[in-house]
Structure 1
Amino acid sequence: MLTRRTILQAAATSAGVALGLPLTAQRLVASSSESTTPKRIIFFMQNQGFDPATCIPKGIHNSGSLANAELPEPISPLEPYKDRLHIINGLHGLHTSPSHSAFFGALGGYRGGDGVPPSAATIDYELSKALPQTLLPHLCIGMDSIENMTSKPTLATLSASGAGQPIFMHSNPNHLYQMLYGSISTGDIRLQHEARSNVFNEIEGLAAAKGQSLPAGDGQRYRQFVDGFQDINGLRERLDKVSGHLQKFAPEVDERYTQPEFETDWHDVLLDLGISALTSGITNTLTIGSGRGEIFGAWKGLGIEQQGHNLGHMKQPDNPIWIKIRQYNSRMLVKIIESLESVPEGSGSMMDNTLIVYTSNNADSQHTRGTNWPVMLLGSFDGAFKTGCFTQIDGNRPINALHTTLLRAAGVTCDRFNMDDKLAQKFDDGNGPLKELLV
């Protein structure tokens, strides 16, 4: 039965989902300073775990250079970019309960679980606040089976702006294209964009007027609803103002959007949209969830018939299925690198000021306690991070220490990310950033 309360709840959620943002006001006004380095960061989270044997070259056990090493087959596409790579082994996430997935806990560094709301902001959101402002500070995209992406075009399991404030991932590229580039499109996409804009404008006005007569409790909930549409309409207006600039970066719409043969067609165009959002300057923080932080996911386009949970029960080293998935991921990383390298910035390219963080949302395997959480970094983040090397962390340092390091590199004073002294006494034998990673 529909009641005023359920209508308000659904409307508020729809507003947040449409924009892919939490239900709070967001920074949508771009600002820049000539003295500010336009840094950006990308998180690529693959579900089902990241076995260290699939990324650590054979024979390497101690920290050192990758110059004379041959990368394992699963990440072999990254061989030409080995001098930009930093492989990290030995961090842990015991406190996140990552079996099957740590969900929000992977990027939050706290206890997670299926259906458990975030207990604090995640590192990607915190970095989006610290980096130079953009029109859309944080963009999240999620890749899954075509059935899941169609039935649930948005899903929130990985990123959050605060306690109980999840951030939605976009999984339908048609919806995301319309949001980002509807104002410069033609045909049906343009008509849909204009129709939706008119509806959102009308709803915002009606909501603002009607909300004044509601009781205090419902009024506050209604205010979130109004703010959500203000955010949507504000973003549309700002993107309209830079439509001439965006025209240079919008991907070409083809049959992969409307008639995908496999889910990987949507994976590929979602990646294109994410890259275009970075190169155009719409955003400086991109989070990619392959498997969307859950135990599902499919890659039929790679010739893999197995799906979802079953993939997590397979050993990853020397497994032809996981070699295909990891190589597919690595080719995506290469595409990001090459795309950012092609755009001049300062005395170099956009990639010189970018960092890619590749890992899993549940440590080293699907069924894991989180004793080892391998991570790969690509790029130096404007010279902040060491590259072309392998680092073995032998102490009891949690993934929170990596998150702290990222914040430090972004200029934020932080000794521990989302970990109080009591928790640190049990799970962290150090303090501050991982000095082994920084220049």
Structure 2
Amino acid sequence: MYLSRNHLSRRTLLRGAGAALALPLLDAMTPALASPQQRKKAPLRLVFCYVPNGIIMPDWTPKQLGSNFELPRILKPLEAHRESLLLLSGLADHNGNELGDGAGDHARAGASFLTGVHCKKTSGADIQGGVSADQIAARAFASQTRFASLELGCEDSRTVGNCDSGYSCAYTNSISWRSPTTPMPPEVNPRAVFERLFGTEDFRLDPATRARRLSYRKSILDLVREDTQSLLGTLGQADRRKIDEYLTSVREIEVRIQNVERNNKIEAPGIDKPNGIPVLFADYVTLMFDLQVAAFKTDSTRVSTLMLGREGSMRTYPELNIADSHHPLTHHRNNPQFIERVAQINTHHTTLFARYLDQLKATPDGEGSLLDNCMIVYGSGISDGNRHTHENLPILVAGRGGGSIKTGRHLAYEQETPVANLYMTLLDRAGVRPDSIGDSTGTLTQLGQI
């Protein structure tokens, strides 16, 4: 252990030519004279993971309440994490409904999911929504991390024009809103996320210059090698091992991104794939989840959103032998074959989410794991995609919130309970207490230890 009174700052960076690599939490970042409680306490992280187009609800909702529930088909991939899950039934996104505005449920679902606000129907520049729960938390934590928040997405989309029955694409493309008129479009390119997180300056360069640099750079680790060696000489054995494991994981992510970029000429039918984005959806989602884990390891941010797809997503899933686009399939009109395909897509999503939870659980953090110190909302602003319903949403929370949430249960709330009440509760656990979020009416009971 590093035993100097002049402990290492949690914002220490490994610097080199054009790079400034963030570090994971080390023993040396805690003062030598700190109390055991100070040494072991880890920060809470808030994550909102959004899936589009609704869920096949009979295959999502457990039949039993309390702790003795059986995970249905779509949630079955999460079996290994059932004791870290809180399944919530009865929550609603009332402002996703038309409320006199006619069609446009997908746009309203995305825009209101984290804001609890009915967005203005417009396809022009005069968009109007609300401030999202993640951004309320981001403002509170901004001074404590390098980045106030991280917005990620796994499907590209334009941000202007009409994307849903007269609603702006800004509504379908973003669940995160910094202000009622300022959405936070997700970053969909893994290379751009990597460069932002690990401090390279390339993300500010034009594509041609960045490509020339990539042609001769072996790794970001080469740029910070000298600083790395200097730091290692001041650390204890445990911290040197943490640094080695961390740098190995950074390099592994970097190699995966480089491999995608080398093979970017491979085209997949029906997929509009920007440069640097994996063709296979599973590879794409896994890479974005891993970048999010890396951001939490380095305490670069404590708030993140990830959209597995934008609302109204037309993605196909050839890896599942499903050639039909996702959105049209959800309008199944009770066709058993279409319902089955949607259920397969829903299960594919939770399978990828389960791997993300595996990564968080395997990462030590304070007295527990990253998963223990996370509060991860996974769900959709639409329940039944066939009817565009916004009641009884598919919502779960993963992670124990540093011990403030009693997981391993299925709870049912009174129908029409605003989903924003959940966000009020989670923010309260994180020490953030806004007067309200959108149409919230208070906090949820029973989430904590009872």
Is the pair's TM-score, using the shorter chain for normalization, greater than 0.5? yes
Deviating more after overlay: 338-347 vs 378-387: 338-347
**Quick one: distance in 2 between partners of 1:303 and 1:148?**
28
Q: Which residue of 2 aligns with 1:106?
A: 113
Q: Which residue of 1 aligns with 2:127?
A: 117
Quote the offset at 1:164 in angstroms: 0.8
Task: Please state which structure has a larger fraction of its residues in helix.
Answer: 1
For the pair 1:309 / 2:324, whether they are aligned, the reply is no
**Quick one: distance in 2 between partners of 1:283 and 1:363?**
30
Q: Does the Cα contact within 8 Å between 2:85 and 2:396 map onto a contact in 1?
A: yes
Alpha-carbon deviations, 1:94-124, whole Å to 9, x = none? 2232722422211111113674734221011
Q: 1:300 to 1:118 in 2, by over 3 A?
A: farther
Q: Number of aligned pairs? A: 348
Aligned counterpart for 2:139 among listed residues 119, 122, 129: 129
Alpha-carbon deviations, 1:185-224, whole Å to 9, x = none? 9xxx99728979xxxxxxxxxxxxxxxxxxxxxxxxxxxx
Q: 1:184 to 1:51 in 2, by over 3 A?
A: same
Deviating more after overlay: 320-329 vs 282-291: 320-329
- Equivalent residues in 2 for 1:179-190 (5 A)? 179-181=196-198, 183=200
Aligned counterpart for 1:293 among listed residues 311, 315, 322: 311
For the pair 1:325 / 2:336, whether they are aligned, the reply is no
- Equivalent residues in 2 for 1:29-428 (5 A)? 34=38, 37-58=42-63, 60=64, 63-65=65-67, 67=68, 69-97=69-97, 99-101=105-107, 102-112=109-119, 115=123, 117-131=127-141, 133-144=144-155, 156-181=173-198, 183=200, 192=210, 244=228, 247-250=247-250, 251-254=253-256, 255-259=259-263, 260-314=278-332, 319-365=339-385, 367-414=387-434, 416-419=436-439
Q: Does the Cα contact within 8 Å between 1:48 and 1:311 map onto a contact in 2?
A: no
Q: Which amino acid aligns with 2:350?
A: S
Alpha-carbon deviations, 1:382-432, whole Å to 9, x = none? 11112111111125421121121122111122453123xxxxxxxx7xx42
**Quick one: distance in 2 between partners of 1:242 and 1:350?**
30
Describe the SS at the equivalent of 2:350. helix
Alpha-carbon deviations, 1:152-206, whole Å to 9, x = none? xx99421111121111211122332233346399xxx99728979xxxxxxxxxx
**Quick one: distance in 2 between partners of 1:242 and 1:106?**
46
Q: Which amino acid aligns with 1:42?
A: V
Cα RMSD of the aligned pairs, angstroms, is 3.8
Q: 1:257 to 1:292 in 2, by over 3 A?
A: farther
Q: Does the Cα contact within 8 Å between 1:103 and 1:294 map onto a contact in 2?
A: no
* Structure 1 unaligned regions, length at least 5: 1-27, 197-235, 420-427
Q: 1:263 to 1:351 in 2, by over 3 A?
A: closer
Q: Which amino acid aligns with 2:322?
A: I
Alpha-carbon deviations, 1:284-307, whole Å to 9, x = none? 222111222344333333332111
* Structure 2 unaligned regions, length at least 5: 1-21, 31-37, 99-104, 160-169, 215-219, 229-242, 264-277
TM-score, normalization: structure 1? 0.68
Q: Does the Cα contact within 8 Å between 2:381 and 2:393 map onto a contact in 1?
A: no
Q: Which residue of 2 aligns with 1:24?
A: none
Q: Does the Cα contact within 8 Å between 1:122 and 1:161 map onto a contact in 2?
A: yes
Q: 1:193 to 1:283 in 2, by over 3 A?
A: farther
Q: Which amino acid aligns with 1:340?
A: L
TM-score, normalization: structure 2? 0.67
